[in-house]
Copies of this chain bind each other. A is one copy, B any other.
């Protein structure tokens, strides 16, 4: 049986990934979750730490962003479903960028965010096959999509 590959992109400061993963585990769904490196400091510093320090902050960031891209692009390209969550803080442009890549690659896109963000996220929601408000709704989508199970 197919193992569905789900990439969890976006906000890294709350436990939304854990909530989706534990919900899927409880439901014994045949899924494999991937995500970016969610350790913020490691994600910022990886390029300079591994490949050598950069004085110029732009290139310091640049090296790190590219090393992270090795991971994120590979896993997004592998995914069946890309879930992108937007939180209430930070610019989160990389989340929107991932959503754009996922859409262009024909991935099934699920966006998860507070309704307060509906207006600025309308273009991304328009490219998505589902807009969820909570991680639990994402779990319910996965249950339905993979098992056909609908809890009313």
Contacts and interface: CB of A to CB of B under 8 A. Distances in A.
A90 B55 CA distance: 30
A42 interface: yes
B100 A62 contact: no
Contact of A99 (B90, B97, B145, B146): B97
Interface of A is mostly: helix
A71 B121 CA distance: 18
Given A78-B2, A97-B99, A101-B101, A126 B66 contact: yes
A50 B123 contact: no
* Most chain B beta carbons < 10 A, residue from A55, A90, A127, A140: A127
A99 B93 CA distance: 10
A118 B51 CA distance: 14
A25 interface: no
A54 B55 CA distance: 11
Nearest to A138: B50
Interface in A66-118: 66-71, 73-75, 77-78, 80-81, 86, 90-106, 108, 110, 115, 117-118
Q: Which 4 A-B pairs have CB atoms at the shortest separation, nearest pair first?
A: A100-B100, A96-B96, A65-B126, A104-B104
Interface of A: 1-2, 4, 32, 34, 37-39, 42, 45-47, 49-52, 54-59, 61-71, 73-75, 77-78, 80-81, 86, 90-106, 108, 110, 115, 117-133, 137, 140-141, 144-146, 148, 150-152
